[in-house]
Structure formats: structure tokens, C-alpha cells
Structure 1
Amino acid sequence: MPPVPPAHRPRRPTERPEPRTTSPAADGAVAAAAWARVAALAGSEVVAAAPARWGFTNRTWLATLADGRRVAVQLLAGREVARRRLRVGARLAERLAAAGVPTAPLLGGDADAAAPFALHAFVAGRNGAEALAADAGAVRLARLMGGLAPRLAAVDTRGLRLPSTWADPARLAGAARRWLERAGPRLDGATSRALRAAVAGVEPLFAGRRPVFAHGDFAPVNVLLAPVPGRRAETAAALLDLEFARPADPLLDVAWWGWIVRFHHPSRWPVAWPAFLAAAGGPDASAAFADRVRTLQLLRLLELLDRAGRRAADTWAARLAVTARW
């Protein structure tokens, strides 16, 4: 996470409020009423805010309160996502903590606001994607996030009422057939054939495998890194953006992390992927492992295409076409 600009530093109680060089209401997506709601939930006026440099599906603002505290205000992509995040957030955070996975504490939120949002305690750190600037950083990040994967899989999902489509191979195959039918006009012939083969292989590939907790968007951009005191090393300060959490095959988070790095950071993938797999429990050279990873990547992309709005759909279709040719 970037350092706070001087005009946005928390003031001491004896100082006068600083000028708002970036107004919390400056973003057209954020109404003044929403910021008033943030202040009510936080128990202190918002005196300044600036957008975080990270955030794709959800945009995040880092806000300074009149009492000197800082909070993260995340604008959520739709009311359904917001309701699920707020309903599950507190209980899920407790279970993640019990499994050794740190998160940013949820302070509240409003799914019915003009711009639905979640309010989180501020967690200092830099975004994990920044570590991918060089091979050495990519390997360190891969080992750190690979080590988180088994902890995530150990999280207890009972009573959380998470989406269950990915927990059952037959149900997943049925959903994927519907996604593929709706996506048809956007896909070229080679991509359609690859997807039909992937869908046909879901039940034989995944039958009998016990579902576990999955983050659902396990990616470098969704972890904050903080220095380890007294050492030249970093640790995971917080895992972010859990609105896609679900029970799924144990390889879903592994497969998605691999896709994100290979697609968006291809020069780092050759060194990062083996390091990630080793930290996640050891590399698996079997054909079944490779087939499962590929199938999960294609189906997750197909699901995202199915959920995408008109503007984003062509982007996801293009990503599917590239991935189908790997």
C-alpha cells in the first residue's frame, strides 16, 4: 500500500483539521450521503480520503478520520456482493484467524447505500502485486501465498451459507454447461471446443474429492505484505476481498493463483509457479493434476464471463481464448 501523502496524514488531537486536498465526495461513485454513513459507522468524521492504488473489481479508498484513525472504505460491485460480504464477513474473519490467515477487520458497511460499501480497519502494508516487479520478489511472494493455501483449505465453512455450486462436480458441470451456452456467440470455435471438453471432464476429474474453503480470487493483488521486525523479510499482513469465498475443490485457489500470474505476469510465472506449488504442499507432475488445474482455470473464467457486464464480457472472452490455447 502506498504511503499516505502529507495532506492526508492523521492529525494529532490538538491540531486543526487539514485541508481536504482529495475530497471524500470527489469520486462520482461516492455520494456525500455515503461518506456521512461511513462517518457514522466509524464514529468520527472523515476529514480526507484518497483512492488506493490497488483494486479492480472493487475500488478502495483510504480515509483519515478526525480522531486520527485510518480506515479502508471498499466500494463493492453490486448489492448482492455487498450483502454476502457483510453477512459472512465477521464470522468468516474469526474462522480465518483461527486457521492462521490474517484479514482486515470488518467494521461495518451498507449494502443499500447508493454505492454499496464495506468499512474495514486500516492495515499497513504494500500490495502483493508489487512484489512481482522482479524474479526474487515473485519467488518470495509465491512461497508466502503458497503457504497460505493449506491454511485457507482448513477453514471451517459450516453455517456460513456460502455458494455451493463449486462444491459438487455434477452441480458445477451443470452450471458450466449453462454458462457455455450463454457465452456461445462471444467464443471462437477453438475456445468453444476446449470449453466443451473441459465441461465434459468435470465429473470424472473431480468425483470423490472433498470440497474445502476457497478464497475464490486468490491472487497477489489480494494480499497485503508487511515487513517482519528485525528481518529482511515480509509476511502476510492481511488477505483481502473474500466476497467470492466458496467451498470448492482443493485446487481452485491454487489454479486461480497460477492463472493470474501466468496471464498478467508471464515473465514471472516460470519462477513463481514452482515456488508456489512447493510451498502449497509439493509439486504434482501427474497428468490429472495438470488437467484439474486447467479445467478449474477455464471454468472460473467462463463463470466470470457469464457474470460480466456488456463492457467487460469481451475482455473475459479474449482471456478465455488465450487460456484455451495454453
Structure 2
Amino acid sequence: MEVLLGRRIVGVASTESGFRSRTDLLALADGRRAMVRRHYRRADVRRHEWLATTLRARAAAEGIEMPRVTRSSPESDPTWSVFDALPGMPVDDELDSPRFPVLAWEMGAMLSDFAELPCEDLNLDETWTRPRFLAARADAWAECLLPTLSPAQYSELQTVLAGLPDLFEDRPAVLAHGDFVPGNILADGEKVGGVLDFDEVRRADPLYDVAWWAWSVSFAQAESFAAAWPAFLDGAGIDPSEPGLLPRIRALQVVRMVEMLAEHDLGPDPWRIVHSRLLRTLSWVAA
């Protein structure tokens, strides 16, 4: 990596480790920083690079910083990309900080701006914009998980899937980041500005990223989530008393986990984590 960068590496810190990739922050001898992203699936590096390049200028117009790709190696194993490092550090370092609710509001506001970026020309996955088609796809994903679910759990999952058309029919579709979580958002002081990771970008319901942010934060820090959730919704311009808000969020979380378990090549530990959280969420829905 030093040969490729033309600089000596004097420090390495992991900034984000997802289910499909890992990102490390490199400190270089000349004082600069760079991010190296390793992708677990070969096809992801090309798509991630294309989306990052295409969306970068559009995001900048809204004050959202995205890293510039400087090098990539789609043929190596694992594949990797090198990005310019943006200012700030991932917000997940601040989850237990008293100022996290302030950052949560900023993240909500950033998400609102990101969702409105032009994306009609990007040929993105539209599965999550079509509730009846999504329900059919999710039913196939659920069938893959049948051996890992009790009859009661599978029945509850089927109830969630059957309710998707009623919950999401005739709602708008927006650009969804797909993994809008604190580990992919950079903050400098008390202001967020940068966003990372575009493996999961798609078009989806406006609550898609909201639901996944809630899933991530409540999983990592339940107390922090309780304090920050109202601020996040306010920043995103979402009324917490909106009819159907909680059922929609729960349904999106359930279907997203089912998709990950059935479609993504997760390692044993991540698979168990997501599966355990799915069962817990299904029990909440049933209650």
C-alpha cells in the first residue's frame, strides 16, 4: 500500500467495519490522511466507486461532503479503494457523549438533504419503491430462513410481509443511502459534514434510512438512542406523531434484516448478530 500511495504509512485506525466492507484511516508520513476501503465482494468496488464519483458533485451542492476516489484495485483479493480522507471522525465515537443528540439532529438534517439529491439517471434498484413487489421478494428471502425460525416466528414474519402494501402503497420514493448509520457519518466538532459508504444506495421509501439509523443506534447504545431519537426526527423534518410511523419503521427494519440474511454473504458472526436482532424485533412486533 505504501508503494501504491507513494508515501510511508505511519498509523492505521479502523473507522468503520460493515457487513460487506471495512474502512481504515491511514496517517501518512507527509501529514496527509487517506482512507482504504476493503470490499468483501468483488462487484462492490466498481459500483461503490461509480456511485461515489457520480453523487459527489450533487452532494457538494447541498453542503454534503463525499470522499474522492484516488485509486482502486477491483482485481485484488480482497478488492480495495483509496479515498481522500475527509475532515472529522465517525459519529459512532460520540454515541455516549452528551452532545450526541445535537449530532443526531445534524444527521437528520443531512439525511433530509441527501434524500432529495437527483438520482433519476442512476438506474438504481427500485425494489423498495414497489411495496407489492417487495413483499413478494421478501417472501422468497423469508423462505430461505425458514429452517432458522420457529413456526410462531415465521408466522409473525409473514404477517409483517402481508402488511407491506397497506403501509407503503402510494408513498413517495427518494434516494436512500442504504446504510445511513453513525459509523458512516463524519463530524468535526458539533457539525456533521461528510458521508461514507455507498454499497447500499438505492431508491426507497423516505423512512428507509430513518429506520436503519434507528436500528443501528438502538442496537449499539439503547440509552443514547432514547435521548437522540426525537432530535434526529426533528432534524429530518419528521413528525413523531405521524400516523403509521412506528409500524413502517419496524416493517422496514424487519424486511431489511431478512434481505441481509438471505442475500448478503455475511460471515458467521454478523449473520448471528442480525438473526438475533430479527427475532427480537419480531417479538416486539408481535407484542
Q: Same fold by TM-score, threshold 0.5 exceeded?
A: yes
Corresponding residue to 2:241 among 285, 304, 314: 285
- 1:100 maps to what in 2? 63
Which structure 2 segments of 5+ residues have no match? Answer: none
CA distance in 2, matches of 1:280, 1:303: 25
The alpha-carbon deviation at position 138 of structure 1 amounts to 2.3
Corresponding residue to 2:164 among 202, 227, 241: 202
Question: Do structure 1's residue 262 and structure 2's residue 245 form an aligned pair?
Answer: no
Question: Do structure 1's residue 314 and structure 2's residue 272 form an aligned pair?
Answer: yes
Counterparts of 1:17-166 in structure 2, within 5 Å, are 35=1, 39-40=3-4, 42=5, 44-57=6-19, 58-65=21-28, 68-134=31-97, 136-166=98-128
Greater RCO structure (CA 8 Å; 6+ sep) = 2
- 2:229 maps to what in 1? 273
Contact 1:70-1:121 within 8 A present in 2 as well = yes
CA distance in 1, matches of 2:93, 2:27: 24
CA distance in 2, matches of 1:282, 1:250: 10
Identity %: 31
CA distance in 1, matches of 2:135, 2:148: 20
TM-aligned CA distance change 1:272 to 1:47, over 3 Å: closer
TM-aligned CA distance change 1:193 to 1:141, over 3 Å: farther
Contact 2:58-2:118 within 8 A present in 1 as well = yes
CA distance in 2, matches of 1:182, 1:310: 16
CA distance in 2, matches of 1:242, 1:310: 20
Which structure 1 segments of 5+ residues have no match? Answer: 1-34, 228-233
Contact 1:146-1:278 within 8 A present in 2 as well = yes
TM-aligned CA distance change 1:108 to 1:166, over 3 Å: farther
SS at match of 1:218: coil
TM-aligned CA distance change 1:308 to 1:137, over 3 Å: farther
Number of aligned residues: 281
Moved more, 124-133 or 205-214: 124-133
CA distance in 2, matches of 1:183, 1:153: 31
TM-score (norm 1): 0.80
* RMSD between aligned residues: 1.9
Contact 1:49-1:61 within 8 A present in 2 as well = no
SS at match of 2:99: helix
Contact 1:46-1:65 within 8 A present in 2 as well = yes
CA distance in 1, matches of 2:128, 2:8: 40
Deviation per residue, 1:222-275 (Å, 9 max, x gap): 111102xxxxxx211311112111100011011111111122211122211111
TM-aligned CA distance change 1:218 to 1:47, over 3 Å: closer
SS at match of 2:222: coil
Larger Rg: 1
Counterparts of 1:178-197 in structure 2, within 5 Å, are 178-197=140-159
